[in-house]
Structure 1
Amino acid sequence: MAYGIDNFSDGDTTVVRWERKKKDLPLILISCCMPYDSEAEPPPEKFRQAIRMWRHDVLIGCDAHAHHTLWGSSNVNQRGESLVNFLSSTNLCVCNRSCDSPFVVRNRSEVLDLTLATNLGTLMASNWMVSEKSSPLDHCWIRSRITLQLEMRAPFKNSQRANWDGYSAALESEMARRVQELIRRGKSIDSAVECLSAVMREAFEANCPISHPAKCGRPP
C-alpha cells in the first residue's frame, strides 16, 4: 500500500511512503524538481526534511538542474557543488551509471536528471540507462532495475513438527543394538555416551522434516 506524505511534499517535491510487509521498513519514493531559477541552493527544503526523516530504503528521481562531473555533466557549477555537498552529508549515492545525457535539446545535451538511493545494502539500483524510446519532453526516459536484498535464512529443524512416535521407535531399536555391541566389546563409558548421543541425533534427523522459513523482505 502506498500513500503520499503531504508534510514533505509541495509543488516541486512529492514524497510517497510504500508500506511493505509488517516487519519491513517502508520504501520512501521521492520525485523532485529543483528549479534552476530558485534563489535557494539545491536541494529544496522539503527534500532536505524528507532525507533527515528517513535514512533507510529511499529511492529518488530528480531533475536537479545542476552540473557536476560526479554524475557525468560536462562541467561543474555552483548548484552542482551545493548538491554534492549535501549528498556527502547523507547516505545517498548517485545511481547514474553512464554519461548518456537525459536532457537533450536541438543544440545541447546535458546530464541533469539523477537517480539517488540509500546505500545501506538493502536497496540496490542496477541496469541504469537512458532509454532510446522517444519522449514528448526534452528529458529522455530513464530506466533502472530496483530490487531489495532478501534476508537469507537457513532451513532448520522444528521440533514441533517431529514424529515423536517414530523417534521413540528408532531410538529403542538402535539403542538396544548399539549398546549391546559396546558391552560385548568392553568399551568405556565415554564411548557409550558418544554412541547414545549419535543414536539420539540420528533418530531425530530421520523423524523431523526440514522447515523452510517464510521469505522476508520480498522485493516489490
Structure 2
Amino acid sequence: MVIDNHTYWLVSAYLGHDHQGPLPGTILEKTVAESTRQKTNLIIGCDANAHHTTWGCTDLNNRGESLFDYILTTNLVVSYEGSEPTFISKNRLEVLDLTLVSLNLSNKILNWRVSKENSFSDQRYIQFTLIKESPKPIQFGNYTKTDWPKYRATMNDFDLIKLELSDPPLCALELEQRVDELTAVINKAMETACFLTAVRGKKKPYWWAAELETLRKDCRRVFNRAKKTR
C-alpha cells in the first residue's frame, strides 16, 4: 500500500501452537528483514499464541519470551494499550494478538483498542487509527541569509506599497491603518527576501530518550552474545 509516496507493508501473521523452534519463524523473520532493507513502513497483525506481560498477559511462557527476545533485535515495537483480552473462549480470557509496527510509526498509531463488535469468533477485532500525513514542517526565517538588496528593492516598489507617506494622517485611526499597511509590506518583503529553514523534527517518538537508546543497544548486544554463545 502506498500513501503519499510512502510504502506500507500490511502483514497478517499466524504463529500456530504446533510451531517448533524460536518464534516468530523463518517466513516472518525474512519479511521483517526485507522491510528493514527496503526501508518500508511495516504493520503486522499477529495471532502470536504467546504470553508476555509486555503485551498485557498476566504471565509469561517460553513462546512469549522467545518472541519478545526476537522483537528486541528488530526495529519493531508493540502497539498495545490496557489489558483488554483479545482472545475469549468459554473458560479463558487472554491477550494473544499483537500489533507490531516499525519504530517510526509508533507515534502515528493512535487510539489502539480491542473492538466491542462481535466478531463471531474467539478472536476479537483490533482497531487503531493510522495518521496518514506527518505534520507539515515548521519554517522560520533565517535572517543571517537575508537577500538585503532584494528586500530594499521590494520596499522601494511603491506600486506594491501604495502608501501616501508624504501626506500626514488626518487622525489616529488613519495613522494606525497606515502603520498596519506598512507592517504588512515589511513582512511581505522579508518573506520574499529571507531564506526559510524548516525545523527538523525528531524521527523517534517524543518519549524516546538517550537513556532508552543506550539500554536498547545494551539489551541487543547482550542478547546477540547469549544467542551466539548459548
Question: Which TM-score applies when normalising by structure 2?
Answer: 0.59
1:87 to 71, 90, 97: 71
Shift of 1:107: 0.5
Shift of 1:49: 0.8
Name the aligned partner's letter for residue 205 of structure 1: A
Tell me how large the CA RMSD over aligned residues is: 3.4
Distance 1:205 1:76, change over 3 A: same
Tell me the alpha carbon deviations over residues 88-115 of structure 1, each in whole angstroms, 9 at most, x when there is no partner: 0112111111111110100111100011
Shift of 1:207: 10
| 2:95 match | 111
Q: Which runs of 4+ in 1 moved over 4 A?
A: 154-157, 164-167, 170-174
1:124 aligns with 2:108: yes
Q: Which has the larger radius of gyration?
A: 1
CA distance in 2: counterparts of 1:84 and 1:207, whole angstroms = 52
How many equivalent residue pairs?
A: 161
Distance 1:127 1:203, change over 3 A: closer
Tell me the percent identity. Answer: 28
1:101 aligns with 2:85: yes
| 1:60 match | 44
| 1:38 match | 19
| 1:28 match | 9
Give unpaired runs (5+ residues) of structure 2: 142-152, 167-184, 193-230
User: 1:101-180 maps to which residues of 2 (within 5 A)?
Assistant: 101-120=85-104, 124-154=108-138, 168-170=157-159
* 3-state SS in 1 of match to 2:64: helix
CA distance in 1: counterparts of 2:187 and 2:22, whole angstroms = 70
Question: Which TM-score applies when normalising by structure 1?
Answer: 0.62
CA distance in 2: counterparts of 1:206 and 1:77, whole angstroms = 64
* Matched-pair contact (CA < 8 Å) for 1:67–1:76: yes
Shift of 1:74: 2.0
Name which of structure 1's ranges 132-141 and 114-123 shifts more when overlaid on structure 2: 114-123
CA distance in 2: counterparts of 1:172 and 1:61, whole angstroms = 60
Shift of 1:155: 6.8
| 1:202 match | 186
